[in-house]
């Protein structure tokens, strides 16, 4: 079964935005054991879209297409599909009612003609539910290919992809081949070192393809299992997972796809322990990542984003003398920040971060990329200084946050 991806839109065609949708879709298809042969991109022109749909319909078995399903005039995918498939557009009542309902929740009493247009689908197409917007997704067989048309808004597309994958696996999967992927997430080991540590993996595991993906600063080790017998593959994957853990164990933070913040939530909730944070250079990013996880209110109490030194002193009661003597970016200051966050919120654990994200603020002794992380646990307060080689502000915020979460995870596992 061969898949292709098609993204439509002048914004992507002209380079106004990079096509991240196609990468996302390719990963999901790949993980579901479906071979992606090509990506294609074309602009908002009805004849061009119809022409490329016809071309691909002779080549691929499955096509995931994104874009052009919005309410505006340049959203013309449904029309182009109708043209390519030589059918008419017709009002889909289910889609119409869903749009009406969605707009009602937004406080709009009447459906406008532009939104009503979003319920006009090519005849014979099957509606794909969109729970987060007015664009209607749909699937339609054209020549030998089944096309899935989804909105280009990444959030909406991502919400609908599980339905697409499920449909493909249930309705279209001729092959009974069993595919399963294990995703082992690590932090703190470079990709080349991870590769070196696992260089004899492929000799031992014949049915598993080993892959590495850098989702900086994390390195994900992927085990792609594939074969005719489910039990054999699952047994081999289990062994493969243990092999990777044996070699890279100290860097592994999850083997079930969970993020580091999900892993932390799980442990703290199990321990019935609470956490507070004090952030300077990360500016709230650590708290925001932790609270992306549903249920984080069970353990997360407070983060003091004390960007100004004065806030560190007023809110967290850091001693002005400490900042004066050692600087705001120092092991001494972050220890006092962590202790302060713990004390004022009554938390069991606290982490504190202060660093130089850049572009300015670096010195010879503490260049851009320097970060201090403090951890207060049930018994002690400790602190460490790190230096990362990146000179870019957003990247540094990400790296500093990841380093702090990683130290926290190691601590709550131990204490």
Our CA angle for 242, 244, 248, nearest 5°, is 120
Q: Which of 94, 97, 211, 238 touches its own copies (CB under 8 A)?
A: 211
CB of 124 to its own copies, least distance (A): 27
- Contacts by 359-368 with C-beta closer than 8 Å and gap 24+? 359/391, 359/393, 366/327, 366/329, 368/396
In this chain, which of 143, 291, 319, 382 binds its own copies, going by CB under 8 A? 291
- Omega within 30 of 0 (cis) for the link into 37: no
Between 143 and 183, name the residue whose CB sits nearer to its own copies. Answer: 183
Rounded CA separation 290/255 (Å): 19
d(CA 203, CA 190): 22
Q: Which stretch binds its own copies (CB under 8 A): 237-245, 329-337, 393-401, 404-412?
A: 393-401
- Considering only residues 231 to 270 of the shown chain, the ones binding its own copies according to CB under 8 A are none
Interface residue with its own copies among 174, 231, 321, 389 (CB under 8 A) is 389
Contacting residues for 263 by C-beta, under 8 A, at least 6 apart: 253, 254, 409
Binding mask 103-132 for its own copies (x = CB under 8 A): --xxx----x-xx---------------xx
Q: According to the binding rule CB under 8 A, does residue 315 interact with its own copies?
A: yes
C-alpha to C-alpha distance for 157 and 149, rounded to whole angstroms: 9
| 306: contact with its own copies by CB under 8 A | yes
Report the residue number, 154 or 380, with the smaller CB distance to its own copies.
154
- Site for its own copies, residues 9 to 48, rule: CB under 8 A: 10-20, 22-30, 36-44, 48
Please identify which residue in the block is written with the tokens 């992306």.
292
Dihedral over Cα of 30, 33, 34, 36: its sign: positive
| List 191, 258, 362, 411, residue binding its own copies (CB under 8 A) | 191
Pick 209 or 235: Cβ nearer its own copies? 209
| Contacts of residue 202, Cβ cutoff 8 Å, sequence gap at least 6 | 208, 210
Q: Cβ closer to its own copies: 88 or 108?
A: 108
Establish if 54 lies at the interface with its own copies (CB under 8 A): no
Is residue 203 part of the contact set for its own copies (CB under 8 A)? no
Binding to its own copies, residues 152-181 (CB under 8 A): 153, 155, 159, 181
Calpha distance 367→226 (Å, rounded): 48
| Binding characters for its own copies, 347-386, by CB under 8 A (x = yes) | -----------xxx--------------------------
* φ and ψ of 36, to 5 deg: -95, 120
CB 13 within 8 A of CB 41: yes
Return the residue of 32, 89, 126, 210 that touches its own copies, per CB under 8 A: 210
Which residue number, 126 or 187, has a Cβ lying nearer to its own copies? 187
Residue given tokens 């100290």 in the structure block: 250
319 binds its own copies (CB under 8 A): no
- Minimal distance, residue 360 CB to its own copies, in Å: 7
Least gap, CB of 337 to its own copies (angstroms)? 13
205, 259, 366 from 292: Cα distances, Å: 36, 11, 32
Q: Is 188 left (phi over 0), alpha (psi -120 to 50) or beta?
A: left
- 380/400 with CB nearer its own copies: 400
Distance from the first to the final alpha carbon of the chain: 50
Does the protein bind its own copies through residue 229 (CB under 8 A)?
no
Specify which residues 57 forms β-bridges with. none
Question: Judged by CB under 8 A, which of 120, 212, 255, 267 binds its own copies?
Answer: 212
CB of 391 to its own copies, least distance (A): 7
Size of the site for its own copies (CB under 8 A): 113
């Amino acid at each position: 079964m061969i898949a292709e991806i098609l993204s439509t839109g002048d914004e992507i065609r002209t380079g106004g935005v990079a096509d991240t949708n196609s990468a996302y879709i390719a990963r999901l298809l790949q993980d579901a054991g479906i071979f992606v042969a090509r990506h294609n991109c074309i602009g908002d022109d009805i004849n061009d879209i119809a022409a490329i749909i016809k071309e691909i319909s002779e080549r691929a078995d499955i096509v995931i297409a994104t874009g052009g399903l919005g309410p505006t005039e340049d959203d013309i995918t449904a029309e182009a599909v109708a043209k390519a498939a030589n059918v008419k557009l017709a009002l889909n009542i289910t889609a119409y009612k869903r749009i009406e309902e969605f707009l009602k929740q937004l406080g709009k009493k009447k459906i406008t003609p532009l939104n009503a247009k979003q319920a006009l689908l090519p005849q014979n197409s099957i509606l794909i539910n969109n729970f987060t917007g007015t664009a209607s997704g749909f699937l339609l067989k054209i020549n030998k290919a089944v096309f899935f048309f989804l909105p280009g808004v990444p959030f909406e597309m991502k919400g609908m992809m599980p339905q697409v994958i499920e449909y493909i696996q249930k309705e279209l999967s001729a092959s009974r081949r069993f595919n399963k992927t294990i995703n082992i997430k690590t932090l703190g080991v470079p990709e080349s070192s991870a590769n070196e540590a696992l260089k004899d993996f492929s000799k031992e595991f014949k049915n598993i393809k080993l892959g590495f993906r850098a989702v900086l600063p994390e390195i994900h080790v992927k085990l792609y299992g594939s074969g005719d017998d489910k039990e054999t593959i699952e047994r081999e994957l289990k062994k493969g997972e243990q092999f990777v853990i044996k070699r890279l164990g100290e860097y592994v933070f999850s083997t079930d796809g969970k993020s580091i913040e999900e892993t932390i939530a799980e442990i703290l909730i199990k321990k019935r322990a609470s956490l507070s944070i004090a952030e300077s250079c990360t500016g709230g990013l650590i708290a925001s990542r932790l609270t992306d996880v549903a249920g984080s209110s069970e353990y997360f109490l407070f983060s003091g984003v004390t960007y100004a030194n004065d806030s560190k002193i007023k809110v967290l009661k850091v001693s002005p003398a400490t900042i004066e003597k050692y600087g705001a970016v120092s092991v001494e200051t972050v220890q006092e920040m962590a202790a302060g966050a713990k004390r004022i919120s009554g938390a069991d654990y606290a982490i504190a971060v202060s660093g130089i994200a850049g572009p300015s603020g670096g010195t010879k002794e503490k260049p851009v990329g320097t970060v201090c992380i403090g951890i207060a646990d049930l018994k002690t307060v400790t602190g460490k200084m790190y230096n990362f080689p990146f000179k870019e502000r957003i990247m540094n915020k990400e790296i500093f946050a990841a380093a702090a979460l990683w130290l926290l995870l190691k601590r709550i596992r131990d204490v």
